[in-house]
Amino acid sequence: MSISSRQLPEVRQVQVIKAPIDKVWQAAATSEGIASWFMPNTFRPEEGAEFILRSGPFGDSPCVVTELSPPHKLSFKWSKDWTVTFLLKELEPGVTEFTLIHSGWLEEGVTEFGQPHSEVRERMGGGWVGIVKKLASVLES
Q: CA 118, CA 8: separation in Å to the nearest integer?
A: 8
Q: Is the pLDDT of residue 1 over 50?
A: no
The CA-based dihedral angle spanning residues 67, 48, 132, 101, taken in that order and rounded to the nearest 10 degrees: 50
Kindly report whether the global pTM for this prediction surpasses the value 0.85. Answer: yes
**pLDDT band with cut points at 50, 70 and 90 for residue 2:** very low
Q: Which residues, including other chains, have CB under 8 Å from residue 87's CB and lie 6 or more apart?
A: 72, 73, 97, 98, 99, 100, 101
Task: Classify residue 59 as left (phi > 0), alpha (psi -120 to 50) or beta.
Answer: left
The pLDDT score that the predictor gives to residue 121 is 94
Task: Dump pLDDT digits (tens) for 77-119.
Answer: 999 999 999 999 999 999 999 999 999 999 999 988 888 999 9
Task: Dump pLDDT digits (tens) for 41-74.
Answer: 999 999 999 999 998 887 899 999 999 999 999 9
